[in-house]
Amino acid sequence: DDIDRAYFAVFDGHGGVDAANYSATHLHVNVGLHEEIVKNPAKALKCSFQKTDEMFLSKAKRERLRSGTTGVSALIVGNKLHIAWLGDSQVMLVQQGNAVTLMEPHKPERE
């Protein structure tokens, strides 16, 4: 279609790099192939995080991998910004020199 899109993501591995590398390799593919990517990009991001997690858990079980990852992604569709994250990774938006809070990171003390 004629809508401009851009995708960015950062993953921070815990207990090794396997989960972070897997997520960096597969999450954007899952987002791009998701059936809701055009009509509901936020849902596509959320479902793709879940799908990528399930895929890695299956691989980790088969291969006895023990790493994990936090992750944050930004999907720009036209003039709209969609953010998805897992764990304590964060995104900062600076607008006219001021920080704009986009999210509250997942922390153990957060309800």
Span 34-93, pLDDT tens digits: 999 999 999 999 999 999 999 999 999 999 999 999 999 999 999 999 999 988 888 889
Position 16 scores a pLDDT of 93
- Tokens in use for 80? 């709209």
Instruction: Name the pTM for this structure.
Output: 0.87
Instruction: For the chain, state the CA radius of gyration.
Output: 15
pLDDT tens sequence across 3-30: 899 999 999 999 999 999 999 999 999 9
Neighbours of 41 (CB within 10 A): 22
Q: Sign of the CA dihedral 62, 65, 69, 73?
A: negative
Position 2 scores a pLDDT of 86
